[in-house]
Amino acid sequence: MAATISAVPITDSDFDFDFGTFDAAAFTTQTLASWQSLAAIIDHSLLKPDATRLQVESLCNGATRYRFGSVMVNPVWASLAVSRLAGTGVAVGSALGFPLGASLVSTLCHEAEALTRLGVRELGIVLPIGQLKSGNYQAVEHTIRAVAAVAHAHGALLKVNLETCLLTMQEKLRGSEIAIQAGADFINTATGFASGGATPADVALIRGVAGARCGVKAGGRIRTLGSVRALLEAGANRIGSSTSVALVRELGAE
């Protein structure tokens, strides 16, 4: 059973269902047991607008050396990343309509189709923030469902970024439930491009909605191993960071 998506305000009873449990404590212990285990759940990210070819190549080299779970790059660099990481086992991800969440659905779907054909296996979109805040939940659901259909048809994952720093608690709850019902494989906290990044409170709130139905990614301004631990303990099972190498080195990587 899932909460009904409608234009009425959310109450606690809307999410009073059993969605299964995610054992955050056990996952944290397992993930932080070695730097290799931590690296395997990190999205090694380079999404700044002034990223250069040399920087993307360095990103891919680092991903190969430390065996990060994936790299996340902007679409213009996707082909390069796929080429550099072929045969390494490191997935290539790309962010669509990033970081505003204000693209046309047709644009997102076209880009998703093109990227998956290039070999991208993890797609990220920002939830249509303005539509959510306007109460147009049908448009939010339609956007996510349409991109999810393209991603899944090509064997790719879809991560939906809420940009939590711009949302009220009710909007975070509503956005999470819509994303799950529309087919998101992960719900992400933040892009890092707005006024805030990932927080344990937001991760815990999202995990509370998701249960075991989908993954929870903590992304946005994660720079220390202490922050990673707090986010994992709150319920994250994927970390997105542009300082991934520093994180695994804190845990003993060289």
| pLDDT surpasses 50 at 203 | yes
Distances (CA, A) of 157 to 28, 64, 78, 124, 183: 23, 21, 15, 8, 10
| pLDDT surpasses 90 at 7 | no
In sequence order, which residues have a C-beta less than 8 Å from that of residue 135 and are 6 or more positions away? 7
Q: With H, G, I as helix, E, B as strand and everything else as coil, classify residue 63.
A: helix
**pLDDT (average), residues 161-179:** 98
Q: What is the pLDDT of residue 230?
A: 98
Share of the chain above pLDDT 70, in %: 93
**pLDDT (average), residues 61-68:** 98
| pLDDT surpasses 50 at 3 | no
Q: What is the pLDDT of residue 6?
A: 38
Per-residue pLDDT reduced to its tens digit, 116-160:
999 999 999 999 999 999 999 999 999 999 999 999 999 999 999
What domains appear along the chain, each with residue ranges and CATH number? 19-250 (3.20.20.70)
Per-residue pLDDT reduced to its tens digit, 68-109:
999 999 999 999 999 999 999 999 999 999 999 999 999 999
In sequence order, which residues have a C-beta less than 8 Å from that of residue 123 and are 6 or more positions away? 93, 94, 95, 96, 112, 115, 116, 147, 151, 156, 157, 158, 159
Q: What is the pLDDT of residue 77?
A: 98
**pLDDT (average), residues 23-50:** 98
Q: What is the pLDDT of residue 18?
A: 56
**pLDDT (average), residues 184-211:** 97
Whole-angstrom distance, CA of residue 132 vs CA of residue 181: 15
Q: How remote is the C-alpha of 156 from its chain's centroid?
A: 13
Model confidence at 19, pLDDT cuts 50, 70, 90, reads low
**pLDDT (average), residues 183-203:** 97
Average pLDDT, the chain: 94
Using the Cα atoms of residue 217, residue 198, residue 125 and residue 5 in order, give the sign of their dihedral.
positive
Q: What is the pLDDT of residue 204?
A: 98
| pLDDT surpasses 90 at 38 | yes
Using the Cα atoms of residue 146, residue 147, residue 153 and residue 155 in order, give the sign of their dihedral.
negative
Q: What is the pLDDT of residue 20?
A: 82
Whole-angstrom distance, CA of residue 92 vs CA of residue 218: 18
Among all chains, which residue has been given the structure tokens 């147009």? 136
Q: What is the pLDDT of residue 10?
A: 41
